[in-house]
Structure 1
Amino acid sequence: MAIETALIKPVVDALMALLQRGEKATLKRNAEAALREAIRELLLANPDENKAETRIAIAKAAGILSEDVMLAEDMLEKHRATRAKTRGKAATGRKRKPAVLKPDDKPVVKKPAAAAKKAAKKP
């Protein structure tokens, strides 16, 4: 019986090693897919920063330390910097100019819509 257990243990160890290698390969493949999705997300006009940051963290946790991770982190950082600069600007990027009145012009006071209708009916 000791011979049987001595033969089973190496077989079980080999199977466990193959299983773990397969799990690591699957984990790495999923992390690389998440990293590609993060880069794709950051290339959109209005990217979801939290989603991209999460996918970058998944890739780092899986042990991927390639230049793609650095690229994605750099893109996320640049997007956050430009978002802070452009907050509050118009779509064209120009600020609105205030209306300039001439010295002889009087400011226009608008009446509410209900008062304007009553005034129109009275004449």
Structure 2
Amino acid sequence: MAIETALIKPVVDALMALLQRGEKATLKRNAEAALRDAIRELLLANPDENKAQARIAVAKAAGILSEDVLLAEDMLEKHRASKARTSGKASSGRKRKAAPAKSDDKLAKPAIARKTVKKPTDQSGT
């Protein structure tokens, strides 16, 4: 029986190594797909930053340390910086004006129609 056990253990170890290698390959393939999705998300007009950051984290956790990870992180950082710079601006690029303070007096009184004042006209001559 010792001979059978000695023969079975290397076979089981080899099968486990193949299985783990397959799992690692699947994990790496899924992480690369998540990284591609993160880059694609960041190229959109209004990207979901949290989703992209999560996909980048998945790629890092899988051990992918390639140019694509650095590119995605850089894109995310630049997007957040540009979003912070433009968050308070109007679409025309001008600063917003502060809203005028409303007093209670104006709210209590009814609106009065403006009186139009006629300017004197030059009637000198026909």
TM-score range, shorter chain: 0.7 to 0.9
What's the counterpart of residue 12 of structure 1? 12
Q: CA RMSD in A?
A: 2.0
Deviation readout 1:13-55 (Å, 9 max, x if unpaired): 0000000000000000000000000000000111111110010
SS at match of 2:88: coil
Amino acid at match of 1:3: I
Gaps of at least 5 residues in structure 2 are: 99-106, 114-126
CA offsets, 1:71-123, max 9 Å, x none?
A: 0000000000000010022234344689xxxxxxxxxxxxx9xx78xx9xxxx
Return the index of the structure with the highest Cα Rg.
Answer: 2
Return the TM-score normalized by structure 2.
0.74
Aligned counterparts of 1:89 and 1:54: Cα–Cα separation in 2: 29
Matching residue of 1:49: 49
Q: How does 1:25-36 map to 2 (within 5 A)?
A: 25-36=25-36
Matches of 2:33 and 2:25, distance apart in 1:
12
1:40 and 2:28 correspond: no
Say which structure is richer in helix.
1
Contact 2:89-2:96 within 8 A present in 1 as well: no
Calculate percent identity across the aligned residue pairs: 86
Aligned pair 1:58/2:66, yes or no?
Answer: no
Normalising by structure 1, we get a TM-score of 0.76
- Conserved in 1, the CA contact under 8 Å of 2:88 and 2:95? no
Q: Unmatched 5+ residue regions in structure 1?
A: 99-111
